[in-house]
Amino acid sequence: MDEIIIRGGRPLAGTTLVSGAKNAALPILFASILSPERCRLENVPKVADCRTARHLLERIGVELVELEEAGSAVVLRTPTILSYEAPYELVKTMRASFLALGPLLARFGAARVATPGGCAIGSRPVDLHLEGMARMGADVRHSHGYVEASAPSRGESPARLRGTRIALPFPSVGATENLMLAASLAIGTTVIENAAREPEIVDLAEVLSEMGAHVGGAGSSVIEVHGRDELGGFCHRVIPDRIEAGTFLIAAAATGGDVTVRGARSEHLGSLLEALSGAGVDLETEGDAIRVRASRGLRGIDVATAPFPGFPTDLQAQLMAFLCRAEGESVITETIFENRFMHVQELVRLGADIRVDGSKATVRGVPSLEGAEVMATDLRASVCLVVAALGAANTTRLQRVYHLDRGYEHLEEKLTALGADLRRVRGPAATFAHTFGDESGDGAGSSGASNGSVEGGEPPVLHAGARGDGSAS
């Protein structure tokens, strides 16, 4: 199993460029199922989750070509499909595979998609996706761990979903996306109330509009999708990854560094910039560049995660790593996922003083952290340990780093270019998760893709009794 060895204590310095957003690329890749025409997506990050999406799309029958010469672009075409199914082996590897449901149902009238189980960060049901599809007329059944759904047929071939009004009890990102995808080919207009407002939703709306669906209100709480009988292709560039950008800003601050993050959109990072500046970090924004400097004393702050534009749950762990050494007390409240403090015990191993009480973590700043062996449990928890280790004294060995590969493109290279001292040690065997499809990060399993279960790499090895890897157990 790979490890990353980090020698901390060096302030990061220099400039780094943000990659495309994984969480924007994934729903857009699935949008390609909606059209028989050519769909071109640029700035797709080279991360394991996007490779898993590619495998699933190919399984369904999407023709997919990666254009290496154009950087990270892919061209997709779906004249027809080979299968209505998103199998468990891929859904357990990546939870976002559930986004195949809406497009398959809308265009081909049927879908069979494995139900994602719980995951490292919470139980994460998909009830809101399914209730929304049912409101659009779908017949939704559960059978042997799969959701089998079909669109109502009134003489149309294939059967079609029907637009309707759907009020989400919680602004779920995935449910909003799945329903937008489905609504784009439904008969009539769908109104999604209490929709998620994340930038990734706006990016998906742009693509669906380019394909011919009329999407209004994306970025607000009410989204209106006027469905079309057919959709065309698209040519789109994925937005920059706000979570990656935020991670670098926090890492720079945690090491007392001076880093400019280029390609970032400050309007996507408002709550983080406010939090960092409240903690005493100097920030300057100019165009798509954000410069962060943390030379003076830093102080604790209170932060609660919330749907956009609130503080993102995907930056909670990284911010906690930073606050471990800020003077005074910080209280972090996690409101989105019920189990997203798995990194706390690992931070404590590095010398942090953190107490968890339900959804609240109280962090008392300590003067320094000390390197140790720690274990990643999900995507953002792993990168939080990297952030902590970069600011810690001595050497940290981070295990189960396959979680990182799900969502960070060239992380080690980018950090090394900023002066960090870290290296990956390749292990001889694949992971527990590889064998069992461990759930993590985006809820889904991690490493399958990064370690080869999907990529056809190393052979699986069972680490008996392995635990704390973010698996659902």
Catalytic positions are: 119
Binding range to ligand EPZ, per CB under 6 A, among 122-130, 279-287, 345-353, 357-365? 122-130
Residue 172 found at the interface with ligand EPZ (CB under 6 A):
yes
Find the binder of ligand EPZ among 58, 79, 127, 154 (CB under 6 A). 127
Q: Which of 12, 28, 90, 336 binds ligand EPZ (CB under 6 A)?
A: 336
Kindly state whether residue 268 participates in binding ligand EPZ, applying the rule CB under 6 A: no
β-strand pairing of 165-167 with 189-193: parallel
Q: Which of 1, 12, 50, 126 binds ligand EPZ (CB under 6 A)?
A: 126
CA distance 162 to 114: 24
In the window 41-100, what residues touch ligand EPZ (CB under 6 A)? 96
3-class SS of residue 68: helix
247 binds ligand EPZ (CB under 6 A): no
CB of 129 to ligand EPZ, least distance (A): 5
Min dist. Cβ of residue 170 to ligand EPZ (A): 5
From the number of C-beta atoms within 10 Å of its C-beta (0-12, 13-18, 19+), residue 194 rates as middle
Least distance (Å) from ligand EPZ to the CB of residue 145? Answer: 17
170 binds ligand EPZ, rule: CB under 6 A: yes
Q: How far is the CB of 254 from ligand EPZ (least distance, A)?
A: 19
Q: Which of 47, 175, 350, 404 binds ligand EPZ (CB under 6 A)?
A: 175
Beta bridge partners of 397: 5, 373
Tokens of 438: 């461990």
Nearer to ligand EPZ, 36 or 122 (CB): 122
Phi then psi dihedrals of residue 350, to 5 deg? -85, 0
Instruction: Classify residue 154 by burial, with Cβ atoms within 10 Å: 0-12, 13-18, 19+.
Output: exposed
Shortest distance in whole angstroms from residue 271 CB to ligand EPZ: 12
Judged by CB under 6 A, the chain residues 20 through 39 that form the site for ligand EPZ are 23, 26
Total residues at interface with ligand EPZ (CB under 6 A): 25
Select from 57, 73, 106, 173 the one that contacts ligand EPZ (CB under 6 A).
173
Segment contacting ligand EPZ (CB under 6 A): 11-19, 35-43, 125-133, 382-390? 125-133
Identify the three-state secondary structure at position 257: coil
DSSP states along 96-138: GGGGGHHHHHHHHSEEEEEPP--BTTB----HHHHHHHHHTT-
Output DSSP code: residue 267: G
- Interaction between residue 379 and ligand EPZ (CB under 6 A): yes
> DSSP state, 458?
S
Q: How far is the CB of 315 from ligand EPZ (least distance, A)?
A: 9
Task: Report the DSSP pairing between strands 39-42 and 63-67.
Answer: unpaired
Sole binder of ligand EPZ in the list 236, 268, 380, 414 (CB under 6 A)? 380
Residues numbered 434 to 453 that lie near ligand EPZ (CB under 6 A) are 441-443
Long-range contacts of 219-224 (CB under 8 A, 24+ apart): 220/195, 221/171, 221/193, 221/194, 221/195, 221/197, 222/191, 222/192, 222/193, 222/195, 223/176, 223/180, 223/191, 223/192, 223/195, 224/189, 224/190, 224/191, 224/192
Structure tokens at 179: 């329903």
Do residues 317 and 381 lie in contact, with contact meaning Cβ atoms separated by under 8 Å? yes
Interface residues with ligand EPZ (CB under 6 A) are 23, 26, 96, 122, 124-129, 170, 172-175, 313-314, 336-337, 379-380, 407, 441-443
